[in-house]
Amino acid sequence: MFSKEESCILRQEFWTSFGKSFPRKWILYDTKLKGFSFKFHFDTKTALVAIDLEDDLENRIKYWEKLLALKSILLDDYLPEAIFEEEYYLDNKKEISRIYVLLEQKVSIHNKNSWQIVMEFFNEKMGLFEAFFEEYKDIIEG
């Protein structure tokens, strides 16, 4: 068991290490589309990479419908394991729409032995999400 402070330090170490191991500028929030962002998530149980739609319902629906129209392309050409959830609830009970890829292995941000696996997963899967987005951005924002 880790104290809150120890956990915080480990999290900072992971993200610093990830940034040094894979030094590139990720799109993340810089999509130029309101409420449309890319996320890395790593905690004591799971690691995932996601597209999150967090804006008002009207905007969420607009982007969700565009992404559903592109679903077969995303699954066939980029991320066959992507999971589409129109209603996804964050830990704070906020409802968003999310498309994500989950790392199947059991990992924990508190276990440094799992860090390299997660970093490689993040780099590969986020790269694929971003490639998809760059290729189809005009359709998504259209």
Residue 142's pLDDT band (boundaries 50, 70, 90)? confident
Please write the tens of the pLDDT for every residue from 73-128.
999 999 999 999 999 999 899 999 999 999 999 999 999 999 999 999 999 999 99
* Helix-helix angle 4-21:115-141, to 10 degrees: 70
Q: Give 62-71 contacts, CB < 8 A, sequence gap 24+.
A: 63/33, 63/35, 63/36, 63/97, 63/140, 64/97, 66/139, 66/140, 66/142, 67/99, 67/140, 69/139, 70/132, 70/136, 70/139, 70/140
Structural domain total, the chain: 1
pLDDT tens digit sequence for 7-63: 999 999 999 999 999 999 999 999 999 999 999 999 999 999 999 999 888 999 999
Classify burial at 82, counting beta carbons within 10 Å of its beta carbon; exposed 0-12, middle 13-18, buried 19 or more.
buried
Given a cut of 90, whether residue 65 has pLDDT beyond it is yes
Confidence class for position 2, pLDDT limits 50, 70, 90: confident
State residue 66's pLDDT score. Answer: 97
Look up the domain containing 120 and give its range: 4-141
Closest CA to 78 of 98, 49, 55: 49
Say which residue, 4 or 72, is predicted with more confidence: 72
Instruction: Write out the two tokens for 59.
Output: 């905007």
